[in-house]
Amino acid sequence: MAYTVSPSPAAPVGSQYCVCKVELSICGQNLLDRDVTSKSDPFCVLFMEVNGKWVELDRTETAVNNLNPAFAKKFIIDYHFEEVQKLKFALFDQDKSSTQLYEHDFLGEFSCTLGTIVSSKKITRTLLLGNGKPAGKGMITIAAQELSDNRVITLSMAGRKLDKKDLFGKSDPFLEFYKPGDDGKWMLVHRTEVIKYTLDPVWKPFTVPLVSLCDGDMEKLIKVVCYDYDSDGGHDFIGEFQTSVARLCEAQDASPLELECINPKKQKKKKNYKNSGIIIVKSCKITRDFSFLDYILGGCQLMFTVGIDFTASNGNPQEPSSLHYINPLGTNEYLSAIWAVGQIIQDYDSDKMFPALGFGAQLPPDWKVSHEFAINFNPRNPFCSGVEGIVQAYSACLPHIRFYGPTNFSPIINHVARFAAQATQQETASQYFILLIITDGVISDMDETRHAVVQASKLPMSIIIVGVGNADFAAMEFLDGDSRVLHSHTGEEAVRDIVQFVPFRNFRNVPKETLAKAVLAELPQQVVQYFKHQNLPPINSEPA
């Protein structure tokens, strides 16, 4: 979605690939009727593009005598945000029992990326024949759903009057939580910390995924065991009990749940045995731990802006030695970076209109230096249509500007930050801004840039910096807070790490997809981290 400034003033957080499973539900409408005496018997086949070839992943059941099928069989796919995952859905009319597709009549197909489907949650598109023409009035509807139980349980536990196990002192108690495994044996799920020298421990609250604790089944029995810690590993058994998450959920802040801790051997031996202490559930809360895909399926749009370095150190774009020289293949490192990042992100923006800005050049007609100009020379409408539009505007502007300097990042960072600040006024998880800066060298306005990044870390925005050429990029590594927290020149800390830097030279001789994976690896967790920090759930989320 494009964004524009409204009249109201704008108010001035280790790499982990996003992999989860997506379930796709398929329906067909008004399919071609290929059978003479009855209606078609359609089935759908899913293909994925692998190394330039379509590979079949799965197929649905056959819907007998039905031109408007809703297939019960779902397609389940691993979702990778940082990859372009091209899919093709082909429908056939089953004529024989053969598994060979050429034996069946073709009813039409539709191709798109998985990113397109998840960013819309549900799409309906025209089916096409092999010649690219519509397959009659045939349509396909594809709906996406994340296949994961994102509920987490937070427990606050304590003990009272636990058995004394140490000869010269009290016990050092800790708890272990178990669930039944597939083999019928108890499987360890969580262990609390040890509380030293007490029979009345209070453990720190802890959070575990509900799937881990009870496979998502609130009624399933779980076992809690209490031990006295020994440094030699021979921990003494205090007692145990079995319960369920449904029972634990009865605990409220005002009325804790008390459960007897039982030692079965003592219970058998002693007639007057009561228990080996009480385990108290002080509170039990179940919430949802939302993922990146939850936010995208909830309608969050990724707003993409490109900032391009046109400083003199890049060299004359007419000469092959220049980093802006467009080679006979029609590309250079700047264009490669734009394509690598843009082709992923454009799937997550509904109108695919992207602002493209330049910095460090003198502009006609008065040849003043600008650090924030629209490369289409239209400051009122700096938007380019799709990644192709950015590439066209870039190529067209090169002959009309003079490369100059210095290399100032802060104006473009502050430009995008103004829009991100405006988006926060909606108080919903609806927009997240991504600024791609492509540069050849050392930052001239380091203090101002550090300040701009620290301020932007409070906003729904991330910055990707791709360094082209062979310059010293130590300053860029400094901005990328993977190893240390970034501070502004005034000493203010960044709220979270929002900068990802990669040198293009590390990716010159590898497949172009590798660059996209490297620069976008941290983005999903940055999006989630921001919205969680603001306590903003996905727009269309269900309560836990």
Q: Which domains does the chain have, with CATH numbers?
A: 20-147 (2.60.40.150), 151-288 (2.60.40.150), 310-336+354-512+519-534 (3.40.50)
Going by pLDDT thresholds of 50, 70 and 90, the confidence category of residue 2 is: very low
CA 286/CA 544 separation, integer angstroms: 6
Mean pLDDT of the chain: 91
Mean pLDDT (whole number) for 321-332: 94
Q: Is 277 left (phi over 0), alpha (psi -120 to 50) or beta?
A: left
Q: Within a 10 A sphere around the Cβ of 66, how many other Cβ atoms?
A: 16
Neighbour-count burial of 28, counting CB atoms closer than 10 A to its CB (0-12 exposed, 13-18 middle, 19+ buried): buried
**264: cis peptide before it, omega within 30°?**
no
CA 282/CA 441 separation, integer angstroms: 56
- pLDDT for residue 197 is more than 60: yes
- pLDDT for residue 99 is more than 90: no
pLDDT tens for 126-185 read 999 999 999 999 999 999 988 888 899 999 999 999 998 866 778 999 999 999 988 888
Neighbour-count burial of 52, counting CB atoms closer than 10 A to its CB (0-12 exposed, 13-18 middle, 19+ buried): exposed
Strand, helix or coil at 354?
strand
pLDDT given for residue 166 in this prediction: 67
Contacts of 31 (CB under 8 A, 6+ apart): 40, 42, 67, 68, 69, 91, 107, 108, 127, 135, 136, 138
- Total residue length of the chain: 544
Task: Return the top range by mean pLDDT from 23-37, 299-313, 503-517.
Answer: 299-313
